[in-house]
């Protein structure tokens, strides 16, 4: 039985811990000037994972906040997946050298899947966390600005054939709004895609949402805003892991 993983998110702009609403850079809230401080709080509370997103890097197309990754990786024992601006072989190597356990890949797995599959074959599928951003069951890329004609189910099946089984899925309509996650979408994915380890992302507003995601068979949940806004406490989260 796989453990249900609680994965707090730290989103980075200018080296600070921020959150956006629905991926909109103009709707930015700064929660802490010091991401290491936030990461240490998670670790002290018994959390073992961290989803670290370089929003500057995602916008620029190359990693910008590598120093923050290095700092958190060297001063905590958290298992970090890092994403945002990973486009080249050099960048993948850089973030692994800086201490990331996994590289988080999104748009690149759509735009240049051959390169992504090469990385999977070189480093192993367990070194990658694949992100599927979804709008009306279709994959969206490029910071959610562009919806493709690729169905989320086809995208996931194709990647599972390449041995990428851990995929996190964000319903764009829900992200950063604290209105509850896309339970129905996740149920459909888990029913249709055999062998997937699905991590829910976006929309969590309270601990009941987390429990519901665990009950339908998700392998974990990425939570950002709900923690920073005090809607979910770390103690509550820990109790769902221990149940």
Task: Return the active site residues.
Answer: 11, 133
167-191 core/surface letters (b: 16 or more CB in 10 A; e: else): bbbbbbebbbebeebbbebbeebbe
- Residue whose pair of structure tokens reads 């120093």 in the numeric block: 67
Q: Do residues 60 and 91 lie in contact, with contact meaning Cβ atoms separated by under 8 Å? A: no
- Please state the separation of Cα 194 from the chain's center in Å: 21
* Closest by Cα among 90, 95, 115, 2 to 52: 95
Q: How is residue 86 written in tokens?
A: 């990973």
- Residue whose pair of structure tokens reads 């929003």 in the numeric block: 55
Sign of dihedral through CA atoms 167, 121, 159, 193? negative
| Strand (E) or helix (H) holding 86 | none
Strands 79-83 and 49-54: parallel
Rounded CA-CA distance 1/241 in Å is: 13
């Amino acid at each position: 039985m796989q453990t249900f993983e609680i994965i707090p998110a730290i989103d980075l702009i200018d080296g600070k811990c921020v959150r956006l609403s629905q991926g909109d850079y103009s709707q930015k809230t700064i929660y802490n000037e010091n991401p290491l401080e936030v990461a240490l709080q998670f670790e002290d509370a018994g959390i073992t994972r961290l989803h670290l997103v370089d929003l500057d890097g995602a916008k620029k197309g190359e990693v910008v906040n590598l120093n923050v990754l290095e700092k958190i990786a060297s001063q905590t024992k958290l298992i970090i997946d890092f994403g945002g601006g990973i486009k080249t072989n050099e960048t993948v190597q850089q973030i692994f050298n800086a201490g990331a356990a996994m590289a988080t890949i999104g748009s690149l797995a759509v735009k240049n899947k051959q390169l992504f599959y090469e990385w999977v074959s070189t480093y192993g599928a367990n070194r990658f966390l694949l992100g599927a951003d979804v709008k009306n069951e279709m994959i969206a890329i490029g910071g959610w600005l562009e919806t493709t004609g690729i169905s989320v189910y086809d995208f996931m099946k194709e990647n599972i054939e390449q041995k990428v089984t851990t995929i996190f899925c964000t319903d764009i309509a829900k992200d950063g709004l604290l209105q509850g996650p896309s339970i129905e979408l996740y149920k459909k994915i888990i029913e249709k895609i055999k062998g997937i380890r699905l991590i829910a992302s976006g929309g969590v507003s309270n601990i009941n949402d987390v429990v519901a995601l665990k009950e339908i068979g998700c392998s974990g949940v990425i939570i950002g805003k709900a923690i920073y806004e005090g809607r979910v406490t770390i103690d509550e989260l820990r109790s769902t892991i221990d149940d």
